[in-house]
Amino acid sequence: MKRILLVDDSRVTRELMKVYLIARDVTLLEAADGAEALAKVKADPPDLVLADLRMPQLDGVGLCEALRADPRTRGVPVLILTSERDTESAMRARSAGAREVLRKPIQPQPLLEAINRHLATDAARP
């Protein structure tokens, strides 16, 4: 069973994501900010991380950079969620190692397609 870590400082957003993902055959983990997420990923890397761009303590870009700097977590796909509309935010997230940037408000279908795409890509790797 695949493990997905949801990282967002908004409990409401995390609950909404859980509603979208509950029908999938996955284990959902949660973190309220990037620092908590980084500790959880380093302890036991999930198969995919869904992280908000803007969070206290450690934002989504900082989380991506920290994961890419560690050989144990370098390959964990990170999808960034953001309400930012400027292209600079998306470019910063991609430069930090995010596989994809999804715009809030998140719609279920694009979210599930992105998750499937990145979990399938990782499953195909040797």
pTM: 0.91
What confidence tens digit (pLDDT) does each residue in 26-83 have? 899 999 999 999 999 999 999 999 999 999 889 999 999 999 999 999 999 999 999 8
What confidence tens digit (pLDDT) does each residue in 108-125 have? 999 999 999 998 865 544
Q: Residue 6 sits in which domain range?
A: 2-124
| 19/23 Cα distance (integer angstroms) | 8
| 123/115 Cα distance (integer angstroms) | 12
What confidence tens digit (pLDDT) does each residue in 78-88 have? 999 998 888 89
Phi, psi of 57 (to 5 degrees): 70, -55
| Structural domains counted in the chain | 1
| 30/109 Cα distance (integer angstroms) | 21
| pLDDT for position 122 | 58
Q: What is the CATH number of the domain that holds 20?
A: 3.40.50.2300
